[in-house]
Amino acid sequence: MSSKLDLDVLYNIASVHREHERFYTMTQMATAAELSREANKLKVVADVWLEDQVPAPTGAVDWSDPRYQAAGCLDLNPVRAIAGIGILFMEGEGEPSEIRTLKLRLRGMAMGMQGVGQWLADKMDAAWERESVLLDPELIDAAWPRFQTIVTNWRGSRKTLLVGKLLALVVDCLDKIDFTPAAIRRDKATAGRHLRTAGWVLDMASRVVAESGASLADNDAHWTEYRAVIRRAQGK
Protein backbone atom coordinates (compact mmCIF):
# COMPACT_ATOMS: atom_id res chain seq x y z
CA MET A 1 0.00 0.00 0.00
CA SER A 2 1.32 3.46 -0.85
CA SER A 3 2.14 5.84 1.97
CA LYS A 4 0.30 9.09 2.49
CA LEU A 5 3.51 10.90 1.48
CA ASP A 6 3.65 8.99 -1.81
CA LEU A 7 0.05 9.89 -2.59
CA ASP A 8 0.57 13.54 -1.68
CA VAL A 9 3.58 13.76 -3.98
CA LEU A 10 1.79 12.02 -6.83
CA TYR A 11 -1.18 14.36 -6.50
CA ASN A 12 1.15 17.37 -6.38
CA ILE A 13 2.87 16.28 -9.59
CA ALA A 14 -0.43 15.65 -11.32
CA SER A 15 -1.86 19.00 -10.30
CA VAL A 16 1.03 21.23 -11.35
CA HIS A 17 1.84 19.37 -14.55
CA ARG A 18 -1.73 19.36 -15.79
CA GLU A 19 -1.61 23.16 -15.61
CA HIS A 20 1.91 23.29 -17.08
CA GLU A 21 0.87 21.18 -20.05
CA ARG A 22 -2.14 23.40 -20.66
CA PHE A 23 0.33 26.25 -21.14
CA TYR A 24 2.59 24.23 -23.43
CA THR A 25 -0.31 23.04 -25.52
CA MET A 26 -1.03 26.67 -26.39
CA THR A 27 2.66 27.46 -26.83
CA GLN A 28 3.25 24.58 -29.23
CA MET A 29 0.24 25.48 -31.33
CA ALA A 30 1.44 29.09 -31.51
CA THR A 31 4.97 27.95 -32.41
CA ALA A 32 3.61 25.71 -35.16
CA ALA A 33 1.67 28.64 -36.62
CA GLU A 34 4.74 30.88 -36.44
CA LEU A 35 6.95 28.35 -38.21
CA SER A 36 4.30 27.83 -40.88
CA ARG A 37 4.13 31.58 -41.54
CA GLU A 38 7.92 31.78 -41.85
CA ALA A 39 7.92 28.79 -44.22
CA ASN A 40 5.35 30.50 -46.43
CA LYS A 41 7.50 33.63 -46.61
CA LEU A 42 10.45 31.65 -47.90
CA LYS A 43 8.32 29.79 -50.44
CA VAL A 44 6.73 33.00 -51.75
CA VAL A 45 10.17 34.53 -52.40
CA ALA A 46 11.48 31.27 -53.89
CA ASP A 47 8.56 31.20 -56.34
CA VAL A 48 9.60 34.62 -57.65
CA TRP A 49 13.16 33.46 -58.20
CA LEU A 50 12.08 30.23 -59.88
CA GLU A 51 9.04 31.31 -61.88
CA ASP A 52 8.95 35.06 -62.55
CA GLN A 53 10.69 36.39 -65.63
CA VAL A 54 11.25 39.97 -64.49
CA PRO A 55 14.71 40.97 -65.79
CA ALA A 56 17.46 42.36 -63.59
CA PRO A 57 17.85 46.12 -63.87
CA THR A 58 20.30 47.53 -66.37
CA GLY A 59 21.66 51.00 -66.81
CA ALA A 60 24.11 53.37 -65.24
CA VAL A 61 22.61 53.65 -61.75
CA ASP A 62 25.28 53.41 -59.07
CA TRP A 63 23.55 51.33 -56.40
CA SER A 64 26.36 52.06 -53.94
CA ASP A 65 25.25 55.69 -53.92
CA PRO A 66 23.37 56.20 -50.63
CA ARG A 67 20.67 58.10 -52.53
CA TYR A 68 19.67 54.95 -54.41
CA GLN A 69 20.39 52.12 -51.97
CA ALA A 70 16.78 51.90 -50.82
CA ALA A 71 15.54 50.95 -54.29
CA GLY A 72 13.83 47.57 -54.31
CA CYS A 73 15.00 44.66 -56.46
CA LEU A 74 12.00 44.23 -58.72
CA ASP A 75 13.24 40.88 -60.05
CA LEU A 76 13.87 39.41 -56.56
CA ASN A 77 10.94 40.71 -54.53
CA PRO A 78 7.32 39.51 -54.61
CA VAL A 79 6.31 43.17 -54.65
CA ARG A 80 2.63 42.78 -53.79
CA ALA A 81 3.48 40.36 -50.98
CA ILE A 82 6.06 42.56 -49.24
CA ALA A 83 3.40 44.04 -46.96
CA GLY A 84 2.52 40.55 -45.75
CA ILE A 85 5.93 38.87 -45.51
CA GLY A 86 8.19 41.81 -44.66
CA ILE A 87 11.20 40.51 -46.61
CA LEU A 88 12.70 43.20 -48.83
CA PHE A 89 15.70 42.97 -51.14
CA MET A 90 17.22 46.37 -51.88
CA GLU A 91 19.65 47.19 -54.66
CA GLY A 92 22.26 48.82 -52.45
CA GLU A 93 22.07 46.36 -49.59
CA GLY A 94 23.10 42.77 -48.90
CA GLU A 95 21.20 40.08 -47.03
CA PRO A 96 17.82 41.45 -45.90
CA SER A 97 17.64 41.98 -42.15
CA GLU A 98 14.50 39.82 -42.05
CA ILE A 99 16.43 36.80 -43.38
CA ARG A 100 19.32 37.43 -41.02
CA THR A 101 16.96 37.70 -38.05
CA LEU A 102 15.10 34.53 -39.07
CA LYS A 103 18.32 32.52 -39.24
CA LEU A 104 19.39 33.73 -35.80
CA ARG A 105 15.98 32.88 -34.31
CA LEU A 106 15.83 29.43 -35.92
CA ARG A 107 19.38 28.63 -34.83
CA GLY A 108 18.49 29.50 -31.24
CA MET A 109 15.25 27.52 -31.40
CA ALA A 110 17.10 24.51 -32.80
CA MET A 111 19.57 24.46 -29.93
CA GLY A 112 16.85 25.06 -27.35
CA MET A 113 14.54 22.34 -28.64
CA GLN A 114 17.26 19.72 -28.76
CA GLY A 115 18.16 20.53 -25.16
CA VAL A 116 14.55 20.53 -23.98
CA GLY A 117 13.80 17.29 -25.83
CA GLN A 118 16.60 15.46 -24.06
CA TRP A 119 15.62 16.97 -20.70
CA LEU A 120 12.02 15.81 -21.14
CA ALA A 121 13.12 12.30 -22.12
CA ASP A 122 15.17 12.07 -18.93
CA LYS A 123 12.18 13.22 -16.86
CA MET A 124 9.97 10.56 -18.42
CA ASP A 125 12.56 7.92 -17.51
CA ALA A 126 12.25 9.03 -13.90
CA ALA A 127 8.44 9.16 -14.08
CA TRP A 128 8.24 5.62 -15.43
CA GLU A 129 10.10 4.29 -12.41
CA ARG A 130 8.30 6.50 -9.89
CA GLU A 131 4.81 5.69 -11.15
CA SER A 132 5.37 1.95 -10.95
CA VAL A 133 3.68 2.23 -7.52
CA LEU A 134 0.41 2.57 -9.42
CA LEU A 135 0.39 -1.18 -9.95
CA ASP A 136 -0.64 -1.45 -6.29
CA PRO A 137 -4.21 -2.84 -6.10
CA GLU A 138 -5.61 0.35 -4.55
CA LEU A 139 -4.13 2.51 -7.30
CA ILE A 140 -4.40 0.27 -10.36
CA ASP A 141 -7.22 2.40 -11.82
CA ALA A 142 -4.78 5.31 -11.91
CA ALA A 143 -2.14 3.44 -13.90
CA TRP A 144 -3.85 3.67 -17.29
CA PRO A 145 -4.43 7.46 -17.39
CA ARG A 146 -1.06 8.25 -15.81
CA PHE A 147 0.98 6.12 -18.19
CA GLN A 148 -0.96 7.70 -21.04
CA THR A 149 0.48 11.06 -20.01
CA ILE A 150 3.97 9.61 -19.73
CA VAL A 151 3.80 8.03 -23.18
CA THR A 152 2.52 11.28 -24.68
CA ASN A 153 5.39 13.22 -23.16
CA TRP A 154 7.95 10.60 -24.13
CA ARG A 155 6.80 10.83 -27.73
CA GLY A 156 6.79 14.60 -27.38
CA SER A 157 10.42 14.54 -26.25
CA ARG A 158 11.41 12.69 -29.42
CA LYS A 159 9.39 15.07 -31.57
CA THR A 160 11.02 18.04 -29.87
CA LEU A 161 14.45 16.61 -30.64
CA LEU A 162 13.34 16.05 -34.23
CA VAL A 163 12.07 19.62 -34.59
CA GLY A 164 15.42 20.89 -33.28
CA LYS A 165 17.22 18.90 -35.96
CA LEU A 166 14.83 20.09 -38.67
CA LEU A 167 15.31 23.74 -37.70
CA ALA A 168 19.09 23.28 -37.76
CA LEU A 169 18.69 21.80 -41.24
CA VAL A 170 16.71 24.86 -42.35
CA VAL A 171 19.51 27.13 -41.18
CA ASP A 172 22.10 24.98 -42.97
CA CYS A 173 20.06 25.26 -46.16
CA LEU A 174 19.72 29.04 -45.83
CA ASP A 175 23.46 29.34 -45.15
CA LYS A 176 24.07 27.86 -48.60
CA ILE A 177 22.56 30.99 -50.15
CA ASP A 178 24.47 34.23 -50.64
CA PHE A 179 21.56 36.64 -50.21
CA THR A 180 23.22 39.65 -51.84
CA PRO A 181 21.26 40.66 -54.97
CA ALA A 182 24.26 40.26 -57.28
CA ALA A 183 24.94 36.71 -56.07
CA ILE A 184 21.31 35.64 -56.39
CA ARG A 185 21.14 37.03 -59.92
CA ARG A 186 24.14 34.97 -60.96
CA ASP A 187 22.13 31.77 -60.38
CA LYS A 188 18.55 32.49 -59.36
CA ALA A 189 17.45 28.94 -60.05
CA THR A 190 19.89 27.33 -57.62
CA ALA A 191 19.24 29.95 -54.96
CA GLY A 192 15.50 29.48 -55.47
CA ARG A 193 15.69 25.72 -55.07
CA HIS A 194 17.64 26.07 -51.83
CA LEU A 195 15.18 28.66 -50.52
CA ARG A 196 12.14 26.59 -51.44
CA THR A 197 13.67 23.50 -49.83
CA ALA A 198 14.29 25.48 -46.65
CA GLY A 199 10.61 26.47 -46.71
CA TRP A 200 9.50 22.87 -47.14
CA VAL A 201 11.68 21.65 -44.26
CA LEU A 202 10.34 24.46 -42.09
CA ASP A 203 6.82 23.35 -43.05
CA MET A 204 7.70 19.86 -41.87
CA ALA A 205 8.95 21.21 -38.54
CA SER A 206 5.74 23.19 -38.06
CA ARG A 207 3.63 20.07 -38.64
CA VAL A 208 5.62 18.04 -36.11
CA VAL A 209 5.20 20.80 -33.49
CA ALA A 210 1.46 20.96 -34.21
CA GLU A 211 1.12 17.18 -33.86
CA SER A 212 2.96 17.31 -30.56
CA GLY A 213 0.71 20.11 -29.27
CA ALA A 214 -2.43 18.24 -30.31
CA SER A 215 -1.26 15.09 -28.52
CA LEU A 216 -0.39 17.09 -25.42
CA ALA A 217 -3.93 18.48 -25.34
CA ASP A 218 -5.24 14.93 -24.94
CA ASN A 219 -3.36 14.66 -21.64
CA ASP A 220 -5.77 17.04 -19.93
CA ALA A 221 -8.49 14.42 -19.56
CA HIS A 222 -5.96 11.78 -18.50
CA TRP A 223 -4.51 14.03 -15.79
CA THR A 224 -8.01 14.83 -14.52
CA GLU A 225 -8.99 11.18 -14.31
CA TYR A 226 -5.71 10.30 -12.63
CA ARG A 227 -6.10 13.03 -10.00
CA ALA A 228 -9.58 11.76 -9.17
CA VAL A 229 -8.29 8.24 -8.50
CA ILE A 230 -5.48 9.55 -6.28
CA ARG A 231 -8.01 11.68 -4.36
CA ARG A 232 -10.14 8.62 -3.70
CA ALA A 233 -7.11 6.68 -2.49
CA GLN A 234 -6.34 9.58 -0.12
CA GLY A 235 -9.86 9.28 1.22
CA LYS A 236 -10.80 12.78 0.06
Q: Are 179 and 109 in contact (CB under 8 A)?
A: no
Averaged pLDDT score across all residues of the chain: 93
Residue 117 identity: G
Mind giving me the DSSP string for 134-177?
A: GGSTTTHHHHHHHHHHHHHHHHHHHHHHHHHHHHHHHHHHHHT-
Residue 235 identity: G
Residue-wise burial string across 73-112, b where 16 or more C-beta atoms lie within 10 A, e elsewhere:
bebbbbeebeeebebbbbbbbebbeebeebbeebbebbee
Residue-wise burial string across 170-198, b where 16 or more C-beta atoms lie within 10 A, e elsewhere:
bbebbeebebebeebbeebeebbbbbbbb
pLDDT in tens, 110-145: 999 999 999 999 999 999 988 888 998 889 999 999
Question: What are the extents of the domains in the chain?
Answer: 4-60+95-234
Question: What pLDDT is stored for residue 1 in this prediction?
Answer: 46
Count of C-beta atoms within a 10 Å radius of residue 138: 13
Question: What pLDDT is stored for residue 4 in this prediction?
Answer: 64
Mind giving me the DSSP string for 64-127?
A: TSTTTTT-B-TTTS-GGGHHHH----BTT-SS-HHHHHHHHHHHHHHHHHHHHHHHHHHHHHHH
pLDDT in tens, 31-64: 999 999 999 999 999 999 999 888 888 777 777 7
